[in-house]
Structure 1
Amino acid sequence: MSVTLVKSAAWVVAYDGRKHTYLRDADVAFEGDKIIHVGPGFAGKATTTIDGSGLLVMPGLVNVHSHPGSEPMTKGWNDELGSTKLYQSSLYEFMPLFRADAGGAPDPSAIPASATVAYSELLLSGVTTLVDMSVAWDGWLDHFAASGLRGVLSPMYRSGRWFTKNGYVVEYEWDKDEGAKPMAAAMAVLDAAAKHPSGRMSGMVSPSQIDTCTPGLIKESFQEAKRRKLPFQIHAAQSVVEFHEITRRHGMTPIEWLGSLGVLSDRSLIGHGIFLDHHTSTHWPRRDDLQDLVDTNTTVAHCPTVFQRRGITLQTFGEYVRRGINMAIGTDTYPHNMIEEMRHVAIMSRVVGEDCYDLRSSDVFNAATLGGAKALGRKDIGRIAVGAKADIVLVDVTHPAMRPVRDPVRSMIYAAAERAIRTVFVDGVKVVDGGKVLTMDHEGAAAKLEEAQRNAERGVKALDWAKRDHLKISPLMFPPGKGA
């Protein structure tokens, strides 16, 4: 196999077996898909040598929660949109409106373009491992493989759907089989992912949301995850509406109810996990949901941006970390920019906690690397160490937005973001170079997605309970000028 050497890197985020550390003027070498050397003085023979004098070498980021097949479509539509009578969430009234064609049917032609845009954004922001939580679509596996990402395919399914007839009451329509058929279809996707020739795919069992899945489907899904030795993820504690619905049905908080079903564990991820019993919006007698998560080693998949746009956030990320919860990060909205999500985690946690020291930037970077790897049961990703996968990101520390370089990862998180990322390797294969995605047509997909968005706009009125058009629901920032 060929050996690639990053020689005399200015900075390396290296893993010492317990934590990330900084190395200076160090070599990183990988052969095939494995790292074979981290530190000074690589003595082996390199097939390819990269001058590391102006580079930071860091591990690829691990994204544990994303919806590439749908979220890029809503750019410009969903930026500042929430239901005022449903506690500011956009899930129930608005999210279902903008994913269809003019006739109200799902638009499958938009999905590949949406996914391509998301995968490209993720690669450009240093993500090398992605949990893709999409509703299964034709060609999904091959399209994902073409991106070059390391994938955890997580096809979502549920027992019923939510809807509102008036904008202030959420109702549920239940399938006769309670989701058995969609679950079976999802398991078939997981079988195919495990056998995919790319060798970079695995699976995750993901019943969609706690309030759209019956207790039987949730328990059966968790048992299937255990049988397959896969992670398990469910959206829970993601809205005040959902919190009220679960407490109304069961007299327990969402976390408490999941615990009663026996589905909290070290293989479990809670998508969002915001509205716990300590959150000021729930006004629930304190019982300590946080301790339940600690005691069961359950991970929280935090996706800050989509909620912060609606005035919602964890209380607080730093508190979850201090309590000992494994925290990981995802991108539940456009742009699929992992570094922006990291920045939002850090700043908003301090704002809500009213404390500059509520968390450290190292907590955030750990969540985006080691925390995500732990959630997926992997000890070979999210770190630069001998024997780990060659999922490596090269950051240009000479980029003007990185300078002055006193602490390069801080400079990347708070200033440069993805602009300074030069090269990305996944499994030792170069997928980004010179800040350009090598595996997908990002620009072409963006143009196709814009066309699909224009088509979707025409279908909004037919789907909305109040028969409003898209401009009534989400007006443009400025009114039309004279002659427009």
Structure 2
Amino acid sequence: MEVKTVVVRGLDVLVAWDEAAQEHVYHHGADLALRGHLIVQAGGRYEGPCDETVDGRGLMAMPGLINMHSHPSSEPGNRGLLEELGSAKLGQSSLYEYMPVFRADISSAPYANQVAVSEMLKSGVTTYVDMSLPRPGWADTVAATGIRGILGPMFRSASWATRNGHSVEYTWDEAAGERAFEASLDVVKSALAHESGRLGAMLCPSQVDTCTPALLQAAQAEGRKLGIPLQVHAAQSVVEFQEMTRRHGRTPIEWLDDIGLLDEHLVLGHGIFLNDHPSLFWPQADDFALLARSGTGVAHCPTVFARRGISLNYLGRYQQAGIPVGIGTDTFPHNMLDEMRLASYLARVVARNFKASSTEGVLDAVTTTAARMLGRDDIGRLAPGFKADFSLIDLRHAYMRPAREPLRSLLYSAGDRAVRDVYVDGRQVVRNGEVLTIDVERALHEVEQAQLSTLSRVHLNDHAGRSAETLSPKVLRTLEAGA
């Protein structure tokens, strides 16, 4: 296949990487040149051969964003259902009582995946971690969207359920967990060998409280062999914290350390409920110091927890202690710029200090830090030799102006409305705000149909036999036509 050289010429702003200073910097009036899937020049005037030129006037080029935690195979189908639900007697979480009853059939997963990826791409995401249950055709579905996907097949030794809305029961089947782990390894290996060249992998034992030590340690060993990281949901709920301290007399973080899991190759999904979180009282531990010493990373997903009055304590604190923090979407919508803005604001509110988060720190979380957490040295920056993953931002958009400080204007005012074009691996996947690689309307239709089917079965899955309308009533009363 012919390799083309494309030059985005005369950008008003280029967010490029300064290798000497180890930081992102602004360039004005600069060129961004890519040959095939790699960047060959970022800054200055490109004088080499060129097959195609893109007019960069009125635009800002910035690195593609990295989404460290998402569940795209299921979350789009929860829209309109879970925004205001949490269990009052289960730490305000929706994990145990509500999410299981609204879970769509896996047959709708490819379409949900497409809906979620379309939202990510339109918000400037070029790489994402997809934590889903393995299914046939998953790798091909992700590859066809044009995004850079890190497949994280989930597996566990136990499932949870509540039969009364105030206690959680665990059903253990260690043999099933081992079989699921073996199936996940097949997915991982197929993703790493995928012909697209854009798929990676991560091993994802589902939750700290649903996995045996042996399963977690086996996953760690295989991850090291394959050179890929692990991600496990941990410190994500009060229920989980209480369950782990009941079982072991140890916090979830202490227990992971006891079995040798904490290290620079592990990412904690959420990492909120450390022993010093204001919602807990367990002063005899020091989870924060354990994370900082071990190099363990955290995937911070602000929206899904903010809906339930919960927040990390707090982004800037983790970053200043040297704990690697990436940001993920986790829930719907899969809008990374929204998550970045909320992460920044929540940090300031929780700390009651406007210096508790910075725009530069949030940008690093979704670029350089996230790339390091994934073990990647070829994404997250606009510099020669890096993958040609980037977005072009419309500086003339009304919400971007005045564009005196374009990253602040993007993050705090314009959001995804100003994301004009997106390129992954040198290929354009979004043009003028529209995704080129996905039939979004078809995918939305299929997700809507799947949700209707799910709603008809809710009463069969709920512990109290409640209907969808009882569990998640609409905001306003509905009057029938003619009433």
Residue 425 of structure 1 is matched in structure 2 by: 423
Structure 1 residue 287 displacement after superposition? 2.8
| SS, match of residue 312 in structure 1 | coil
Structure 1 residue 20 displacement after superposition? 0.7
Structure 2 Cα separation of the partners of residues 16 and 380 of structure 1: 15
- Preserved contact between residue 391 and residue 427 of structure 1 (Cα < 8 Å): yes
Structure 1 residue 178 displacement after superposition? 5.5
- Preserved contact between residue 5 and residue 48 of structure 1 (Cα < 8 Å): yes
Structure 2 Cα separation of the partners of residues 143 and 274 of structure 1: 32
Select 2:180's aligned residue among 174, 179, 182: 182
Letter in 2 for 1:92: Y
Select 1:442's aligned residue among 437, 440, 460: 440
Structure 2 Cα separation of the partners of residues 111 and 39 of structure 1: 41
Select 1:14's aligned residue among 13, 16, 41: 16
Structure 1 Cα separation of the partners of residues 285 and 244 of structure 2: 16
1:290 aligns with 2:292: no
Residue 228 of structure 2 is matched in structure 1 by: 230
Residue 360 of structure 1 is matched in structure 2 by: 358
| 4+ residue runs over 4 A deviation | none
1:458 aligns with 2:456: yes
Structure 1 Cα separation of the partners of residues 139 and 49 of structure 2: 36
Structure 2 Cα separation of the partners of residues 389 and 457 of structure 1: 43
Structure 2 Cα separation of the partners of residues 308 and 360 of structure 1: 19
1:33-432 alignment runs, 5 A limit: 33-100=37-104, 107-177=105-175, 179-432=177-430
- Preserved contact between residue 278 and residue 286 of structure 1 (Cα < 8 Å): no
- Preserved contact between residue 300 and residue 325 of structure 1 (Cα < 8 Å): yes
Residue 468 of structure 1 is matched in structure 2 by: 466
Structure 1 Cα separation of the partners of residues 235 and 78 of structure 2: 23
RMSD: 1.0
- Preserved contact between residue 178 and residue 217 of structure 1 (Cα < 8 Å): no
| SS, match of residue 133 in structure 1 | strand
| Percent of paired sites with the same residue | 49
Instruction: State the Cα deviation string for residues 237-265 of structure 1 (Å, max 9, x = none).
Output: 00000000011111111111101111111
- Preserved contact between residue 422 and residue 434 of structure 1 (Cα < 8 Å): yes
Structure 1 Cα separation of the partners of residues 25 and 146 of structure 2: 28
- Preserved contact between residue 54 and residue 397 of structure 1 (Cα < 8 Å): yes
Select 1:480's aligned residue among 458, 462, 478: 478
- Preserved contact between residue 265 and residue 296 of structure 1 (Cα < 8 Å): yes
Structure 1 residue 277 displacement after superposition? 1.2
Residue 104 of structure 1 is matched in structure 2 by: none
Structure 1 Cα separation of the partners of residues 423 and 50 of structure 2: 16
| SS, match of residue 122 in structure 1 | helix
Structure 1 residue 406 displacement after superposition? 1.2
Structure 1 Cα separation of the partners of residues 256 and 246 of structure 2: 15
Letter in 1 for 2:370: G
Structure 1 Cα separation of the partners of residues 284 and 379 of structure 2: 37
Structure 2 Cα separation of the partners of residues 310 and 108 of structure 1: 26
Query: Any gaps of 5 or more consecutive residues in structure 2?
Result: none
| SS, match of residue 406 in structure 1 | coil
Structure 1 Cα separation of the partners of residues 76 and 307 of structure 2: 15
Structure 1 Cα separation of the partners of residues 256 and 157 of structure 2: 16
Select 2:5's aligned residue among 3, 9, 22: 3
Structure 1 residue 450 displacement after superposition? 0.9
Instruction: State the Cα deviation string for residues 199-250 of structure 1 (Å, max 9, x = none).
Output: 1111111100001111111111111111111111100000000000011111
Structure 1 Cα separation of the partners of residues 158 and 174 of structure 2: 9
Letter in 2 for 1:8: G
Letter in 1 for 2:73: G
Structure 1 residue 192 displacement after superposition? 0.8
Structure 2 Cα separation of the partners of residues 181 and 40 of structure 1: 54
Letter in 1 for 2:149: G
- Preserved contact between residue 251 and residue 285 of structure 2 (Cα < 8 Å): no
Residue 103 of structure 1 is matched in structure 2 by: none
| SS, match of residue 367 in structure 2 | helix
- Preserved contact between residue 303 and residue 339 of structure 2 (Cα < 8 Å): yes
Instruction: State the Cα deviation string for residues 45-84 of structure 1 (Å, max 9, x = none).
Output: 2111111111000000011110000000000000010000
Letter in 1 for 2:208: I
Instruction: State the Cα deviation string for residues 396-418 of structure 1 (Å, max 9, x = none).
Output: 10011111101111111111111
- Preserved contact between residue 178 and residue 214 of structure 1 (Cα < 8 Å): no
- Preserved contact between residue 71 and residue 333 of structure 1 (Cα < 8 Å): yes
Letter in 2 for 1:38: A
Structure 2 Cα separation of the partners of residues 178 and 153 of structure 1: 21
Residue 30 of structure 1 is matched in structure 2 by: 34
Structure 1 residue 109 displacement after superposition? 2.6
| SS, match of residue 294 in structure 1 | helix
Structure 1 Cα separation of the partners of residues 179 and 15 of structure 2: 46
- Preserved contact between residue 34 and residue 389 of structure 1 (Cα < 8 Å): yes
- Preserved contact between residue 178 and residue 213 of structure 1 (Cα < 8 Å): no
Structure 2 Cα separation of the partners of residues 314 and 381 of structure 1: 26
Letter in 2 for 1:204: M
| SS, match of residue 258 in structure 2 | helix
In the superposition, the TM-score normalised over structure 1's length comes to 0.97
Structure 2 Cα separation of the partners of residues 331 and 279 of structure 1: 22
Structure 1 Cα separation of the partners of residues 397 and 470 of structure 2: 43
- Cα 1:109/1:248, change in 2 over 3 Å: same
Structure 1 residue 481 displacement after superposition? 2.4
- Preserved contact between residue 317 and residue 356 of structure 2 (Cα < 8 Å): yes
Structure 1 residue 176 displacement after superposition? 4.4
| SS, match of residue 151 in structure 1 | strand
Structure 1 Cα separation of the partners of residues 148 and 130 of structure 2: 10
Structure 1 Cα separation of the partners of residues 354 and 202 of structure 2: 36
- Preserved contact between residue 291 and residue 323 of structure 2 (Cα < 8 Å): yes
